[in-house]
Chains A and B, each alone.
Chain A
Amino acid sequence: MTATPPPSGRVPAGPVTGPAAIRTVGLTKRYGSVTAVDGIELDVPPGDIYGFLGPNGSGKTTTVRMLLGLVLPTAGTVEVLGARIPKHARSVLHRVGALVEAPAAYGHLGARANLSIMDAAGPGGSRRTRRARIDQALEQVGLAGVGRRPVKAYSLGMRQRLGIAAALLRKPDLLILDEPTNGLDPRGIQEIRRLLLDLNASAGTTIFLSSHLLAEVEHLCKRVGVVDRGRLVLQDSLAALRAPTGSVVLRTPDPEWAVGVLDGDLRERSGDRLVVRATDPAELNARLVGHGIRITELTEQRRTLEEVVLAATTGSSDRVDAAVPPTVGPRAEVLSTGDSAWDRPPAGPPVPLPTRPARDTFSWPAGRDTPEPGPGWQPSRSEPARSEPARSEPARSEPARSEPARPEPVRPAPDDRRPGQPQPGLGSQPSRSGSAQPPDGRSQPGPGWQPSPSDSAQPPDDAEVDPGGSAADRAGSDQPEARSEESA
């Protein structure tokens, strides 16, 4: 994220130069009695990379569709690149490249024929430059050697790349991308991320990225809007959202000594991992080392985007529990950046973990010793040491939450189902509060929130990547038959 064009979008509101790339006022969409989108006020300045986040079913896609004139708003207005949508869609939408939900193409045609058809289907795509633009777009997404193979023979990742190529075809001023890295492997994800960053830096392309892959957004975006149940509950720069929490996380082989030295500054402790109230990590380090305490790890605690988002949203609408509908308290308020929800001890009186027969079909990777929840309680981390703070405990009006050593979330599945997880509410389980909290305490993050594949498998941003890498869907590198066909 270097050398971005002047309007960096750090300012929370207001146009920087020229009209906003996207501005919606009171954008509302009702389907019958269901309000899918409720008064959303988006503000995306030109040159920004904007992450549009929210649980499944929170209204992201409906909003994106309204931006593109596919769904007509019930109330409110949409302006894209300064023009009203859908009224003036024809004059402006050809400057917008879009990927809405999944890519789509005519299966019996090849990549070039598909791009050619889409380009010819609307204004703004000059016929003379079409060939060159198609070649360039395919080159950009790594499909240059794809040949004439029909799209129906493509892998998921190749289709995704083709969809992105279609969005890039006319060198758009604004890219509206809905889950652009769906179906891509980690290397493909990184390629696309670099491509987007490069487009933003070199051409000043505004990028509106709708996603529920938090790591994706965290890596790319400058500003973030979080939508929950059709409402925009958060819109701020990522830097502000990820402000330090005022705590430092450290690991030490001498936790007892450290606790003694730190005295009242200790916030939480679990084994050798301490969370300490301190604004200056360097000063804290010096203080501990001065007492002869060895430090293995010391990090300023910042809230992860996941924590921010989980705190701001209420739940996944694709989770359907039986019995009582989820009692969602007052809509989650926009967080102040000072206090972290993560710091908060679980609310309510400590409740011992209900001892249930081992009906869980998944196996716990760690011992099932469950710490007694209470103030200062900290989920013990049985995973390898990570510098980031533990996963969030969003502030919620829930009864006591008892959280055992949480296994690392299930591998990101292509869909939202978690294999092996007992379907909550289906069995004859004891009654529980109506909230989306299964008795095993594994409800966070909900099924709608998958950790991004890049969360774990992603090489660091600056890792050296062989561009002709092994991404299976990268055409030209591993498809000799496609190339030979073309050269024949």
Chain B
Amino acid sequence: MIGVELMKMLRRPRTWVVIALIDALPTLVAFLLALTDVGPRPGTGPAFLSAVLNNGVLFPAAALAIVLPLFLPVSVAIVSGDSIAGEAQAGTLRYLLARPAGRTRLLVAKLVTVLVFVAMAVVVVVVTGYFVGTSLFGTGQLAGGNIVSVSGEPLSPHQAALRTLLAMAYVAFSMLGVAAMAVFLSTLTDSPLAAAMGALAFLVASSLLLTLDAADSIRPYLPTRYWLAFVDLFRQPILWRDIVRGVGLQSLYVAVLLGAAWANFSTKDIKS
């Protein structure tokens, strides 16, 4: 079943269009930076961008920072929101369940597919970011190959690679909260658009509350609160506090929302 769902996603043109679009933005940013050589001043603009001009090895992390706030969650919401509701809208859900695929199995297969999609998107962003970054900005030979970390200390290329991998894992994990929300909404409605939009509304609300001082007391529980904590991975030494909290918070959201999705879907009357 999981294999079937993966095949369905991979054979779908939309999957690749979405990934290509996610990838296009950081690539465009890289080209603009390389052409103009005008980086944001340190401390402004997306994370790492000011450092990238000196060393392209950091560009994968910069690319993650560029897609993380909007592009990645939008694509994840679209794919996850489509998971059940898309089948319902196409009418294939009733045939899958009458096949019988099994409701829990189908839901698990859809979740695995969403996970794979998130991983694919992150990997593609990082890999193209690496190639684009190193070819446009060089590998920082002037600085002896070392990378200046966010906290100013130098990072060896080995450390940088390891931390980029950690950052990929963290960013992918951060997306699971959105994915779980969209999957839950997807079991509620027969409209994939509504599910995706609902999940995005959830994110926008969270981002908005983050900027509001009056929402200070609930800030630690907002799903997007710790998203950008992956920047801390590039500190020397790594600042783990927010990363650990981010993982814990995302896990909580994922558990609750997927539980709700399962409870709803396994007892739902399929009338689509």
Contacts and interface: CB of A to CB of B under 8 A. Distances in A.
A72 B13 contact: no
Contacts of A89: 100
A70 B98 contact: yes
B269 A104 contact: no
Contact of A104 (B7, B8, B95, B101): B95
Interface centre among A65, A72, A106, A121 (most CB of B within 10 A): A121
A143 interface: no
Interface string B148-174: 000000000000000000000000000
Nearest to A114: B92
Contacts of B94: 65, 68, 70, 100-101, 104
A105 B7 CA distance: 15
B100 A118 contact: no
A154 B13 CA distance: 19
A121 B91 contact: no
A65 B101 contact: no
B96 A118 contact: yes
Interface in A103-145: 103-109, 113, 117-118, 120-123
Given A65-B270, A117-B8, A106 B95 contact: no
Interface stretch (A90-98, A209-217, A235-243, A350-358): A90-98
A115 B102 CA distance: 18
Contacts of A65: 94, 269-271
Contacts of B204: none
Contacts of A72: 267, 269
B95 A93 contact: no
A109 B100 contact: no
B264 to A, nearest CB: 13
Interface string B1-37: 1011001100111000000000000000000000000
B18 to A, nearest CB: 15
A208 to B, nearest CB: 13
A71 interface: yes
A93 B100 CA distance: 6
A70 B8 CA distance: 22
A69 B92 contact: no
B4 A117 contact: yes
Contact of A68 (B4, B7, B98): B98
Given A71-B270, A106-B92, A118 B12 contact: no
A117 B90 CA distance: 14
Interface residues of A, number: 30
A102 interface: yes
B99 interface: yes
A189 interface: no
B116 to A, nearest CB: 17
A157 B94 CA distance: 20
A70 B269 contact: yes
Contacts of A68: 94, 97-98
A27 interface: no
Contacts of B4: 117, 120-121
A104 B90 CA distance: 6
A106 B13 CA distance: 12
Nearest to B109: A121
A106 B11 CA distance: 11
B100 A122 contact: yes
A166 interface: yes
A121 B100 CA distance: 8
B44 to A, nearest CB: 44
A258 B102 CA distance: 68
A71 B269 contact: yes
Contacts of B12: 108
Interface centre among B90, B95, B97, B102 (most CB of A within 10 A): B95
A219 to B, nearest CB: 26
A100 B95 contact: yes
Contacts of B100: 69, 89-90, 93-94, 122-123
B95 A118 contact: yes
A100 to B, nearest CB: 5
Nearest to A163: B95
Nearest to B88: A104
Contacts of A90: 100, 102
Interface centre among A90, A98, A104 (most CB of B within 10 A): A104
Contacts of A108: 11-13
Nearest to B7: A117
A72 B97 CA distance: 13
A146 to B, nearest CB: 18
Interface string A136-170: 00000000000000000000000000000010000
Interface in B45-102: 90-92, 94-102
B98 A100 contact: yes
Given A71-B269, A120-B4, A166 B95 contact: yes
Contact of B92 (A94, A105, A123): A105
A150 to B, nearest CB: 11
Nearest to B269: A71
Contact of A98 (B3, B11, B91, B98): B98
Interface of B: 1, 3-4, 7-8, 11-13, 90-92, 94-102, 267, 269-271
5 contacts: A68-B98, A89-B100, A98-B98, A106-B90, A121-B96
Interface of A: 65, 68-72, 89-90, 93-94, 96, 98, 100-109, 113, 117-118, 120-123, 166
Given A100-B94, A101-B91, 8 more contacts: A65-B270, A90-B100, A98-B98, A103-B91, A105-B90, A106-B92, A121-B99, A122-B99
